[in-house]
């Protein structure tokens, strides 16, 4: 057995670059909480409306004026705003993603991901790696994050809205990818605010749609359908997709399977398989893990699932194995923004 050879020395410029890059990684949580404060105190909306000084924002938000000034200065260093005199600030297009009325708003995502529900389990992430188990029970004393949300409705509301933010951004692409010709009823399983199925209904005036989710979640979907004048073609079901799902021609599972382990995923898919009408199909919308070393959101989201839910992001072959165990087979793969749209139908 030969001893390992020492690594060659790095050039000085590489060392400096690597040091700076690692500092950015290590202090990433500082940025997370800075962005959270910017979202919570509505900086994007204030600057858009002309409330552009620390003193005015502090008065509107009941925050400390000096701390607010320092927050604005730091946000400027992050590219969220600019200032020519150090007192009056102007929001950038990046800050606009935290506005309430931005169609692709990430405001609630910024708030929910940095709130205690996610923040405290992530603080125990090394333990998740050591044990292979998610850390919600240890951090919150709940079996899973959804049980935690059921007892913390403010956080649940932000999380639901954040999922709607992400769904809304991809909903039009998903509706374009999924062919609903001949489909009578499409049901969004775990669909939160119903953005995906509502986009499908707008694209196909003949399509009826609905959402199955936990009882405290579905009122948001019903309200969204009413706001769009689609309530007559829309239904909500408060239930548990691990127990059963209502009959439908098309089931959409966006950002659902990645929350659960393989056995739980197969259980959900089997429930869909059992209730599918003749000729029906299942559409799974999730990230696909690419080759090792390929950059992107999927590997980091996989770490989020490891620490938060016990689920995982999967490669296409792993989805195929889930389908096979549930009596389904993959028939099509499409792309909707950052998501893969994987369609499956019952095996003979």
> Hey, which residues are catalytic here?
258
Burial bucket for residue 62 (CB in 10 Å: 0-12, 13-18, 19+): exposed
Phi, psi for 209 (deg, rounded to 5): -140, 170
Alpha carbon of 194 to those of 87, 126, 135, 190: distances in Å? 42, 35, 29, 9
Report the half-sphere exposure of 277 (CA within 13 A, side-chain side).
Answer: 12
Tokens of 161: 């809205």
Burial bucket for residue 214 (CB in 10 Å: 0-12, 13-18, 19+): middle
Identify which of 169, 273, 148 has the alpha carbon closest to the alpha carbon of residue 214: 148
Element of type H or E holding 220: helix 218-227
Q: Is the separation of the CB atoms in 115 and 154 below 8 Å? A: no
d(CA 277, CA 248): 6
d(CA 72, CA 63): 12
């Amino acid at each position: 057995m030969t001893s390992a050879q020492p690594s060659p020395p790095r050039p000085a410029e590489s060392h400096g670059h690597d040091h700076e890059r690692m500092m950015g990684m290590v202090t990433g949580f500082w940025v997370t909480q800075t962005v959270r404060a910017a979202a919570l105190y509505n900086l994007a909306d204030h600057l858009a409306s002309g409330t552009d000084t620390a003193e005015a924002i502090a008065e509107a938000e009941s925050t400390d004026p000096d701390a607010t000034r320092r927050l604005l200065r730091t946000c400027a260093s992050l590219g969220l705003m600019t200032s020519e005199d150090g007192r009056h600030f102007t929001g950038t297009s990046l800050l606009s993603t935290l506005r309430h009325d931005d169609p692709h708003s990430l405001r609630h995502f910024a708030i929910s991901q940095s709130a205690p529900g996610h923040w405290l389990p992530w603080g125990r992430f090394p333990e998740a790696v050591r044990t292979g188990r998610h850390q919600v029970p240890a951090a919150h004393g709940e079996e899973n994050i959804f049980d935690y949300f059921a007892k913390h409705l403010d956080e649940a509301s932000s999380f639901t809205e954040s999922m709607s933010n992400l769904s809304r951004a991809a909903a039009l692409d998903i509706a374009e990818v999924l062919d609903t010709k001949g489909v009578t009823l499409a049901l969004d399983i775990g669909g939160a605010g119903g953005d995906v199925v509502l986009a499908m209904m707008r694209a196909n005036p003949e399509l009826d749609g609905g959402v199955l989710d936990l009882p405290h979640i579905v009122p948001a979907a019903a309200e969204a359908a009413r706001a769009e004048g689609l309530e007559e073609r829309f239904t909500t079901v408060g239930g548990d997709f691990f127990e059963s799902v209502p009959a439908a021609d098309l089931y959409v599972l966006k950002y659902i399977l990645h929350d659960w382990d393989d056995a739980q995923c197969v259980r959900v898919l089997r429930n869909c398989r059992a209730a599918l009408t003749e000729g029906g199909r299942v559409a799974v919308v999730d990230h696909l893990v690419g080759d090792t070393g390929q950059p992107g959101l999927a590997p980091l989201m996989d770490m989020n699932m490891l620490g938060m839910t016990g689920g995982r992001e999967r490669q296409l072959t792993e989805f195929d194995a889930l389908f096979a165990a549930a009596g389904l087979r993959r028939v099509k793969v499409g792309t909707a923004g950052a998501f893969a749209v994987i369609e499956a139908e019952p095996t003979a």
